[in-house]
Structure 1
Amino acid sequence: MRAPFRRFTAAALGAGLAALALTGLTRSASADDIPPGLDFGDCPTPDQLPAGYDPAFALCTVTVIGGGELKIGSIDQTITQPIKMTWANGYDPVTLEQWAVFGPMRAEPQRVKGGVLGIDGSDFIPLLQISAQPQLAADPELSPEGAVALRLKLKIKTINPLLGDTCFIGSDADPIVLNLTYATTDPPPPNKPITGTGPHVLDNGVLASTPVDNAFAVPRSSGCGWNGILNGIADFRAGLPSPAGTNTAVFESYSKYQNYPSLAKTSAKYRAK
């Protein structure tokens, strides 16, 4: 998937926007916090990059969100399963035109505390359990405007035997839009401003940082149960729709990047044909 972006060279993006870590609200990340999964196996291959791209001016970045919080409506979810994103970015050294190509988002379902009833300890029965799995609703955007470091458009699959396989919070047409920033947010009340932290280097070239957003809205559910018959129940449980100023995203994340000549030395699939 390809998307344009502005203002930053490939090197600057690799060193700056590469890291999506939200540890800065309370503490700085340490090497002990680094989660597994920071590998380059999902990097876009040369045939997926723009025609005529120069490998010397192309990077692949992998980011793993290894913790943090996503509060939407009445659900305050601690992130317990890693969320992995991979992208390539670069620029034409002659025209200076910049580009980005995104790989998949990989995220395991995460159990929602309290399950269907929203009561701690009540979800020991599988029928009362709910899991949530974030998915991309559209390509991310790198530094789209102002202090926004990364714009994510998400939909969250809600997994429960009664809800079926098509129950989502947000959709491709009406996604949850996170404008993640390292700066201080300006949310509507009742939320208060929070401040992110820019990238800092840990061991082995790993970057950690703290982009945040607490000014986004969350739409209603859709596709829950046969013909959407359980949408209302899903919305009641999750407190949806949830207006801007009542939701929060805090992602503890870690990133590494590598240029394509280096990738080509480690794997034949990254060698230009």
Structure 2
Amino acid sequence: MRESKTGRAGTRRSGTRRRVLGGTMAAMLAFAATTVATLPAAADEGDGGPAASDLAGNWAPFDRCPVDDPAMLDADGDELAALCLASSSESGTMTIGEKTVPTAGTDLQFGLLGDGVDYTTVSPGGTGIEADPVKVPGGLLNLMCPSDIPVLTTLCERAAGSSLNTVTATVEPAGDPSDFNLNAGLSTGQPIVTLPIKIKLDNPLLGGNCYIGSNEEPILLEPANAEQPMLNLVRYAPDGTTDPTGVMSNIALSGADQVDDSFAVPGADGCGLFGALDWAVDSQLGLPSPEGANSLVLHSADTTTGGFYTPANFTPNQGEQLADHWHAAHTD
């Protein structure tokens, strides 16, 4: 049937793509199976992530996978495989210049389209990363005080000992993830993905639109494994039930910190009335801050990639089947 559209040369090219897709994925799965025999088992994917999921069993990590995106639905299991990816960390730290603040729970999800070698990401509605807000230690007094500038001295005095001192920082997406490297996720020291983010600072005196980084000038994070992660492979039925012969599979990587010390941080924007306090935030944090002066550590990151166990075989309308199975796994 395909030869009537493309001819024999097209059929040969399609067969080559299937061999690349199938061969690369098979090698990765074989590596996973071998590694499972020598490493402690990771937590069962059916346990879910840091947030509650309404997906059953081993589908639980992927509650925001963009399975209905047209690009994902078009995956044919021939030229492209469709996968879901979820990565989370409960805690960590981010250092900007001389200031270090904790990170709270982070949850990164996106879809993957790949031929076994190269992958493109598909974000769930442009919000691939979600993060819990954290209180900045020391609040506004730590962020802008002390100061010998009269206007700041007045703000510091007003903030001291009151709710005006509380500053909440929240990581938000500033664009779509890109440059995903599957092999980097299995190794150490290689950037796994590029994440454009911005940091919102909430405080009554800073206003509601105070950001470090923006969509136009994002902070570009490129996390890499600091040590070899533990690896676990599980196969399951389309409904999410663990099944050693199931057509679906998850590859879970866990236990390794993810780090990055290569990113630059731009100046603050929108802090105070008409941005009148941008310079104060910049002065205290040393912004803009160049590459090498900042760092990120995400403790014990858990990363799970899920999809068909043999993505190049028996799934000609793979993207549609992936979406059907995902929707059927919803428990409410």
Q: Verify same fold: TM over 0.5.
A: yes
Q: More helix by proportion, 1 or 2?
A: 2
CA shift in 2, pair 1:87/1:172, >3 Å: same
Q: CA deviation at 1:267?
A: 2.2
Match of 2:166 among 112, 129, 135: 129
CA shift in 2, pair 1:72/1:263, >3 Å: same
> Percent of aligned positions with the same letter in both sequences?
30
In structure 2, how many angstroms separate the alpha carbons of the residues matched to 1:157 and 1:10?
39
Match of 2:141 among 117, 128, 136: 117
CA shift in 2, pair 1:13/1:221, >3 Å: farther
In structure 1, how many angstroms separate the alpha carbons of the residues matched to 2:292 and 2:209?
28
Name the structure 1 match of 2:212.
169
In structure 1, how many angstroms separate the alpha carbons of the residues matched to 2:49 and 2:329?
25
Match of 1:91 among 105, 108, 114: 114
In structure 1, how many angstroms separate the alpha carbons of the residues matched to 2:285 and 2:273?
19
Match of 2:71 among 39, 42, 49: 49
In structure 2, how many angstroms separate the alpha carbons of the residues matched to 1:29 and 1:169?
39
**RMSD over aligned Cα atoms:** 3.8
Does residue 271 of structure 2 align to residue 234 of structure 1?
no
| TM-score scaled by length of structure 2 | 0.59
Q: Over residues 192-246 of structure 1, what are the superposed CA-to-partner deviations in whole Å (9 max), with x where a residue is unaligned?
A: xxxx124322697642233321122211100111211111122233332222222
In structure 2, give the amino acid aligned to 1:118: N
Q: Over residues 33-80 of structure 1, what are the superposed CA-to-partner deviations in whole Å (9 max), with x where a residue is unaligned?
A: x9623632101023443463126922101111211211112320122x
Name the structure 2 match of 1:265.
325
Name the structure 1 match of 2:272.
225
In structure 1, how many angstroms separate the alpha carbons of the residues matched to 2:135 and 2:98?
15
Q: CA deviation at 1:162?
A: 1.2
Name the structure 2 match of 1:193.
none
Residue 167 of structure 1: SS of its match in structure 2? strand
Q: CA deviation at 1:132?
A: 0.7
Does residue 200 of structure 2 align to residue 157 of structure 1?
yes
Answer whether contact 2:200 2:211 (CA < 8 A) is retained.
yes
In structure 1, how many angstroms separate the alpha carbons of the residues matched to 2:161 and 2:29?
43
Name the structure 2 match of 1:210.
257
- What runs of 5+ residues in structure 2 fail to find an aligned partner? 1-19, 32-39, 52-59, 144-158, 235-250, 309-320
Residue 148 of structure 1: SS of its match in structure 2? coil
In structure 2, how many angstroms separate the alpha carbons of the residues matched to 1:90 and 1:15?
21
- What runs of 5+ residues in structure 1 fail to find an aligned partner? 1-6, 17-27, 183-195
Q: More strand by proportion, 1 or 2?
A: 1
Please show how residues 53-64 of structure 1 align to structure 2 within 5 Å. 53-54=75-76, 57-64=81-88
CA shift in 2, pair 1:200/1:139, >3 Å: same
Count of residues paired in the alignment: 234
Answer whether contact 2:139 2:167 (CA < 8 A) is retained.
yes
CA shift in 2, pair 1:167/1:12, >3 Å: farther
CA shift in 2, pair 1:263/1:227, >3 Å: same
In structure 1, how many angstroms separate the alpha carbons of the residues matched to 2:269 and 2:258?
29
| TM-score scaled by length of structure 1 | 0.71
